[in-house]
Structure formats: structure tokens, C-alpha cells
Amino acid sequence: MKKQRPRGMIINLIKEFFISHPNEEFEHAPVVDWVTEQVVKSGYETPRDIWRSIRLLHERGLLVKVDEGIYKYDPDYEHESDLQEFPETIKQEILKRDRYRCVICGLGEEEGVKLHVDHKRPKSKGGDNSLENGQTLCSQHNILKKNYGQTTAGKKYFIEIYASAVRNKDEKMIAFCESVFDAYDEHGYNGHIKRPDGEP
Ligand SMILES: [Zn+2]
């Protein structure tokens, strides 16, 4: 059985196609062919009704309708936020590189978690949409990361590991976590998050 296609994949691919060909006019066929190729290459079933999504993007104001069944993308009409997401092809590459698992907890869709592609360095801080700036996170760690940033999420995560190590009386892991907390202190990161082992 083939994997289920991620939500929004078709729309994102169509956007990517048009954005990389600004002001060029296209009929449905070349767009549909390219999108189909990307989807199949990523291991999903051949999509149908791609033209419907092209029309939807026109209705949303991203594509300009030149003539019946002919559309173009005009950067001057573009809304900024549309450009800030990872292009769908990069997104698929990031997921593949991370083996379709959260880079923090290692869980994947087989375990029932939803995967997100996250900007390591946030867009608001100048992070780009490159392969290197992307990472796969589960919903839980995505929220943690979004709310706390990279090092803070790391410390929070080690607090979780530390708690279960204490429960399991895993001395080796307890010692490791303490060294991690020491490193945070030594380098002056995230001092506002209290370490769980009672050290100041
Ligand atoms: Zn996770």
C-alpha cells in the first residue's frame, strides 16, 4: 500500500512550479505533468484533479488567469507569506533525509505521530528555506521548539529524559543529563529554565 500524501502537497508543488517560472504563461498540462512527477517520485499515488488546485490558487489570488485554462504567476501580485514556507520538494527531501522521523524523539508516522518540517533558524530571525535549515519534528516537539527555540527545547527535552532516568534509576543517564545541564550553565544558555537536579 502506498503512503498517504501529506495535506497541501499538491497546492505547494503548484505554487513552487509557478514561483520558479515568474511571468511565464502555462496551460494545465506542463504543470500537471511536473507536479505528478514530483508526487510519484516521493512515493505517493498518482494524483488526480491537479487542475482543480490550479484553479483554486487562482481563486486565492496567487495565479493570474491569462486566458481560459492559461495561468501565470506575477511576483508583483504575490503575497509575502506564500514565499516563506519550504518549497514542497525541499520539504520532501528533508523528510526523506530524516528518515520520516522526528529528529528529537525518533517517532514516525508508523507510531501515529504527525510530522512537521521545521525551520531550525526561524524565518523571523533570518532563517531560509534551505535543506540545511530544515528538520523533521513530531507535533509535540514542533510545539516545544516553536514556543522555546532550539536550545531551550533541548534543555526541556533533557529535563524529560532526566525525569525518566530518575524513575528508572538509570545512573548512567542521570550523570549524562547532569553533564548536559552543566554545559548549559557553563556556556550561559537558558539559565531561566531551572535544572531539575537541584543544582543552582
Ligand atoms: Zn518528537
**pLDDT tier at 64, thresholds 50, 70, 90:** confident
Distance 70 CA to ligand 1 centre (A): 43
Ligand 1 centre to CA of 53 (Å) is: 31
Confidence label for 117 from pLDDT (cuts 50, 70 and 90): very high
Ligand 1 centroid–CA 122 distance in Å is 18
User: How far does the centroid of ligand 1 lie from the alpha carbon of residue 83, in Å?
Assistant: 26
Cα distance between residue 3 and residue 100, in whole Å: 11
- Residue 56: CB atoms within 10 Å: 14
What are the residues whose beta carbons fall under 8 Å from the beta carbon of 111, sequence distance 6 or more? none
8 A C-beta contact, residue 162 and residue 170: no
CB neighbours of 190 closer than 8 A, spacing ≥ 6? 151, 152, 155, 184
Pick the range with the lowest mean pLDDT from 79-83, 123-127, 145-149.
79-83
CA of 105 to the centre of ligand 1 (A): 4
Separation of 145 CA from ligand 1 center, angstroms?
Answer: 10
> What pLDDT sits at residue 107?
93
Q: Is the per-residue pLDDT at 132 higher than 80? A: yes
User: Is residue 127 pLDDT above 70, yes or no?
Assistant: yes
Q: Please list, residue by residue across 144-173, b when 16 or more beta carbons sit within 10 angstroms of its beta carbon and e when fewer do.
A: bbeebeeebbbbbbbbeebeebeeeeeeee
Distance 137 CA to ligand 1 centre (A): 5
* pLDDT digits 0-9 by tens, 10-42: 999 999 999 899 889 999 999 999 999 999 999
* Per-residue pLDDT at 96 exceeds 60: yes
Question: Higher-confidence residue: 82 or 59?
Answer: 59
Q: How far is the CA of 139 from the centre of ligand 1 (A)?
A: 7
Predicted local confidence at residue 81, as pLDDT: 43
Q: Please state, for a pLDDT cut of 70, what percent of the chain lies above it.
A: 94
C-alpha cell read off for 11? 497546492
* Cα distance between residue 90 and residue 75, in whole Å: 21
What's phi and psi for 71, nearest 5 deg?
-130, 160
Computed over every residue of the chain, the mean pLDDT equals 87
CA 149 to chain centre: 15
Beta bridge partners of 71: 26, 65
pLDDT at 1 over 70: no
- Domains in the chain, ordered, with CATH? 9-83 (1.10.10), 91-186 (1.10.30)
Answer yes or no: pTM beyond 0.75: no
The predicted structure's pLDDT at residue 200? 64
The residue-averaged pLDDT of 78-88 equals 62
- Neighbouring C-alpha atoms within 13 Å toward the C-beta of 93: 11
pLDDT at 60 over 80: no
Q: What is the rounded CA–CA span in Å between residue 144 and residue 157?
A: 9
Per the CB < 8 A criterion, the answer to whether 19 and 73 are in contact is yes
Q: How far apart are the CA of 114 and the centre of ligand 1, in A?
A: 9
